Amino acid sequence: MFLKSTKKAITLIEIVAVIIVLGVAVTTLINLLFEVTRRANFSEEVALANFYTQGLMEEIVSKRFDENACCSWTAVADLGASADGEDPADKTTFDDVDDFHGFSDIPQSSYARSVVVEYQELSTSTWQAASSPPTDFKKITVSVTKANGEAGTVEMESLVSGY
């Protein structure tokens, strides 16, 4: 009778121990699963943002350097599609790289894409915003951001020349 009673007590302790161990293990597994899911989402966001950034960049650099013939390049105030008479909302009407200045669109729900084009100059060995534009070089920056995403903003820059 005494032995039987002791065996029951040990069984209860074992059950409590198993519950505690399972609780810790399940919590750890859930945390691990959450982290794996978060990283997978992050990778997918970066990959998609890269895809949309690169796609638009390739489209822009396929256009000619400027609306004007060499070398009376477009004034800074006239960068963008409006000054050339193209439709700022319709990039299929754009025919030179700076027409994309100020352009923005939503390639997919919650992904916002925008473009900045600015004249550049080489100072010693560093490219920087031109101190007296226009110059023969334009830097194109395409940015893609996912709303409420973890990847932040993905940016791609290209330098094109009027030569």
For Ca ion, the closer CB: 18 or 159: 159
* Tokens (6 digits) for 27: 């919590």
96 close to 65: Cβ distance less than 8 angstroms:
yes
Residues that bind Ca ion (CB under 5 A): 67, 84, 95-96, 98-99
Q: Name the DSSP class of 64.
A: B
65 close to 56: Cβ distance less than 8 angstroms:
no
Longest CA span, the chain = 106
For Ca ion, the closer CB: 103 or 111: 103
Residue closest to Ca ion when measured from CB atoms: 84
For Ca ion, the closer CB: 44 or 87: 87
For Ca ion, the closer CB: 50 or 68: 68
For Ca ion, the closer CB: 78 or 155: 78
Task: Return the closest-CA partner of residue 133 out of 93, 94, 101.
Answer: 101
Residue 31 has phi, psi (to 5 degrees) of -60, -40
Q: Least Å distance between CB 160 and Ca ion?
A: 12
Task: Fill in the amino acid letter for 1.
Answer: M
* Tokens (6 digits) for 115: 């473009």
Q: Least Å distance between CB 67 and Ca ion?
A: 4
DSSP string, 78-90: G-SSGGGT--TT-
Q: Least Å distance between CB 120 and Ca ion?
A: 16
Give the residues across from 29 on adjacent strands: none
Q: Least Å distance between CB 147 and Ca ion?
A: 30
Q: Least Å distance between CB 94 and Ca ion?
A: 6
